[in-house]
Structure 1
Amino acid sequence: MTIHLDSQADLEDAITTLVKRDPRLKPVLQVAGMPALRRREPGFAGLAAIVCGQQLSTASAAAIWGRVSAAFEPFEHDAIKRARADRLARLGLSTAKIKTLKALAKELAAERLNLDVLAEEDADAAHATLTALHGIGPWTADIYLLFCLGHGDAWPAGDLAVQEAMRIGLGLKARPTVKQMAPLAEPWRPLRGAAAHLWWAYYHAVKRREGVIGDDKAAKVVAKKVTAKTPRARKSPSR
């Protein structure tokens, strides 16, 4: 059965289960605090927003998506399928992103793609379905599964922040590769998505407190201080 992270309570329950199952995560939670659940709009609009933000700063991505979504109200795949490429380009979309959005719209219109059912599929199978689509890479697939669908077992193996956080938190000699991330996360199935939220929170906590995420000694000092002062996990500051 697929586990969904639809509420803050769902995420907290999942992380509590993970910490009980894997004691290595207890100090990670003590440093990170309980992460806040972040969700995005599901469906074509949610996936399109992620595509628009590929390889852009948060501000640039928000600006372009704001123009695109405002130009098509309501934002539906049929409208994008019919839209002229030059109109989409004037809104700030690159040629590659226009091709990706039109390819997605075509698949949805032909009913060869159903984004809703991905929430119930095995995480790896859902990931494979998305990455088989034109212009949808692993990062886009992972972000959609985690934040748009709340898939409890989606695992962003290629995310650099998660990789670096695990290097520090698990005391690894080097940042794990994408290939190494799969076996490292195996003990956390079927809650790898919740583990990803925890590792992101840990990355930001260490970076915020020490300024340099790659400083192992600094990270250990932070962990000691938090463990000594905070016997129970604290909620992380809002981001």
Structure 2
Amino acid sequence: MTRPHLEQALDQIALEDHHIAQALEEVGYPDERRRGDPSYEHFLRIIVGQQLSVKAAATIFGRIEAALAGDFRPQRVLAMNDSELRALGLSRQKIGYARGLSEAVLDGRLVPTALADLPDDAVVEQITRLKGFGRWSAEMFLLFSLGRPDVWPADDLAIQAGLHRIKNLKTRPDRKRADALARPWRPYRGAVAIFIWHYYSNAPLP
């Protein structure tokens, strides 16, 4: 999602939502979040990022990138043994997910570039067939690899925590309430999600 798209979407929402307007004044606009054409590398990055902070995930992915010398082909990952992958920071479970992903790409069960031609629901269905890829993982791919504008990862803990603060809620919202809060932001919920992550990382604690 480009910076102009983010700014336009957030400005539109801020006109109707004073909480978003106030938060936008506090931390400003987020940087654009684009990864280029959908690829195997994007899926590998999603595996690394599961249940980790952005900083920790970036560190581990940097090690993997260095070990592969930037050559993100599934054959390269499959050629590494478990000890090598663990030394880079992958858990035993994530090693299994990475191997399953690599095999799916090699045998044609997953063609990352072909997903760009599918609607959101069909993309989610295909991705969640892979072991280790739930709805959150599919939403990350939709948002950051395909740039779909209305993706709303309501299960994301940082999204819920950010909503808690921005909306001055008494408790952190669950998925159902997060979905309800985001309904007025359609069709720009993806831009709001990116902004809430930005707010969560940069807003001063109360």
TM-score, normalised to structure 1's length? Answer: 0.71
The question of whether the paired residues in 1 share the 8 Å contact of 2:105 and 2:111 is answered with yes
Partner of 2:11: 16
Identity over aligned pairs, percent: 37
Partner of 1:192: 189
Higher relative contact order (CA 8 A, sep 6+): 1
Partner of 1:67: 63
Give the one of 150, 165, 173 matched to 1:168. 165
The question of whether the paired residues in 2 share the 8 Å contact of 1:119 and 1:151 is answered with no
Following superposition, the deviation at residue 105 of structure 1 comes to 1.2
Cα 1:173/1:100, change in 2 over 3 Å: same
Q: Point out the more displaced range, 152-161 or 15-24.
A: 15-24
Partner of 1:152: 149
The residue type paired with residue 99 of structure 1 is: G
The question of whether the paired residues in 2 share the 8 Å contact of 1:18 and 1:25 is answered with yes
Following superposition, the deviation at residue 24 of structure 1 comes to 5.1
The question of whether the paired residues in 2 share the 8 Å contact of 1:77 and 1:105 is answered with yes
Taking the aligned partners of 1:54 and 1:80, their CA distance within structure 2 comes to: 18
The question of whether the paired residues in 1 share the 8 Å contact of 2:30 and 2:195 is answered with yes
Alignment deviations for residues 137-189 of structure 1 (CA, whole Å, 9 cap, x no partner) = 34433333323332212212112222122233334332210122223222222
1:27 corresponds to 2:36:
no
Cα 1:161/1:64, change in 2 over 3 Å: closer
The residue type paired with residue 100 of structure 1 is: Y
The residue type paired with residue 8 of structure 2 is: D
Taking the aligned partners of 1:199 and 1:89, their CA distance within structure 2 comes to: 32
Give the one of 102, 106, 125 matched to 1:105. 102
Partner of 1:134: 131
Partner of 1:201: 198
Gaps of 5+ in 2: none
Following superposition, the deviation at residue 127 of structure 1 comes to 3.3
The question of whether the paired residues in 2 share the 8 Å contact of 1:28 and 1:169 is answered with yes
Taking the aligned partners of 1:117 and 1:50, their CA distance within structure 2 comes to: 18
- SS at 1:15's partner residue? helix
Following superposition, the deviation at residue 100 of structure 1 comes to 0.5
Taking the aligned partners of 2:93 and 2:130, their CA distance within structure 1 comes to: 13
